[in-house]
Structure 1
């Protein structure tokens, strides 16, 4: 029996690349989109789902179960970027980011866990971010939401192991996708004390995405995880220096690491 994969945010970027690749490997793939009727180039079916809406999540999961009878693999991929000096990000945008990047994945996991528990097997892969391993200037909210999902996964992984369910995190670095176009940018205010350094940081982040790795790397990594009966807790996928930054944070004194980041972002004391 072919395994059924549900990928949130499967209409573009990493989710689309992963879904297309898994389909070539014989998996039955479903993606999600807030507006699937507007997507006409998907290689696999898209169900309507807004991960910020619990009722929408329930309907989407029920639709897949109705069509297939089982969900073997959930890839929690839907997410959104956000940038800005924390002082200048509207609270409603912070709430929206956590609703998409943290509370949404939690609700989707809650929706699929009962069926996985009934079949005594399942795999959940949460797509986090290398940015979730450190507090990055002008990306504080994004780092926090992705870091929180990493920790949630660590805890939930232990809770569901007795039911034959595996959960893991995959933290990507910068990939050449359209994530920048959907990212919320706190506006560059003329009278802002952060204007110069925040503006330079925005340009740097966009360059990193434009020159990012091929999303096929994520598809290859996720396929390898699926084939592994006992996946690790954490995986990192991306450029060497991005992954190495996590190692540096672990081994360097806090203030030394902070200084490295400030130099990288050209923040002067």
Structure 2
């Protein structure tokens, strides 16, 4: 019997790369995203849903997830960057929009996962969760929240290994926005990102898979930056 993988945000970027990687390895992949990727594979089971609809997550996804029964690894990948903007110029509703999707949506999903057997949960975090840089308030606050969310749930989901993982810089529309549309002089972090190693999504997906293979080396609830291992 093939093992089950669940991936949120499976339609593009890292999520799509993870989906293709596990399908190639013969896993059964359950995907959740706003739009369906162009994948023709009997082992791909898809649920269209916008995780920004926080109040509808449990009513809409609980049955879909619970019917899986046993999941080898969950990748909580769906999320958003928000606008790169000085903190003083950000309004609370802008912060709230990013925080709700990046943190509260994952909290609702974790509650559902607590009702079935899940071996591993990998929440996609970021180096921005621990490094404060001008312009990154929405994203940094939310990813710091992801780290603590995973730390807290690790104390409760004792039969599941949970990690918050920063996968490094990946070539996606999000990083393209930072590299090509953001003023280097006003936001120095954009220049640092441009000068760093930019991974293809497939490279990042493989590194995450390798991390999961060696997951016993890590303590449940930890924040891991793949660039430091």
Q: TM-score, normalised by structure 1?
A: 0.71
User: Are 1:134 and 2:123 matched, yes or no?
Assistant: no
Gaps of 5+ in 2: none
Q: In the alignment, what sits opposite 2:38?
A: 40
**Residue 53 of structure 1, CA deviation:** 2.2
Structure 2 residue corresponding to 1:237, chosen from 199, 223, 226: 226
Taking a change above 3 Å as real, the CA distance of residues 108 and 42 of structure 1, as seen in their structure-2 partners, is farther
Q: Write the distance in 1 (CA, Å) between the matches of 2:101 and 2:61.
A: 16
Alignment of 1:1-269 (within 5 A): 1-36=1-36, 39-41=37-39, 44-58=44-58, 59-66=60-67, 68-82=68-82, 83-116=84-117, 121-161=118-158, 164-180=159-175, 197-198=185-186, 201=188, 204=191, 207=194, 212-228=198-214, 230-232=216-218, 233-238=222-227
Q: Write the distance in 1 (CA, Å) between the matches of 2:56 and 2:176.
A: 24
**Residue 78 of structure 1, CA deviation:** 0.6
Taking a change above 3 Å as real, the CA distance of residues 27 and 92 of structure 1, as seen in their structure-2 partners, is same
Taking a change above 3 Å as real, the CA distance of residues 42 and 154 of structure 1, as seen in their structure-2 partners, is farther
| CA-to-aligned-CA distance 1:221-243 (integer Å, 9 cap, x gap) | 222233236251332134xxxx5
Q: Contact conserved, 1:7 with 1:32, CA < 8 A, in 2?
A: yes
| Pair member with larger Rg | 1
Misfit runs of 4+, over 4 Å:
180-183, 200-203
Count residues with an aligned counterpart. Answer: 220
Q: Give the helix-richer structure, 1 or 2.
A: 1
Q: TM-score, normalised by structure 2?
A: 0.82
User: Residue 78 of structure 2 aligns to a residue in which SS?
Assistant: coil
Taking a change above 3 Å as real, the CA distance of residues 222 and 173 of structure 1, as seen in their structure-2 partners, is closer
Q: In the alignment, what sits opposite 1:260?
A: none
Q: Contact conserved, 1:13 with 1:179, CA < 8 A, in 2?
A: no
**Residue 81 of structure 1, CA deviation:** 0.6
Q: Contact conserved, 1:73 with 1:122, CA < 8 A, in 2?
A: yes
RMSD across aligned positions (CA):
2.9
User: Residue 50 of structure 2 aligns to a residue in which SS?
Assistant: coil
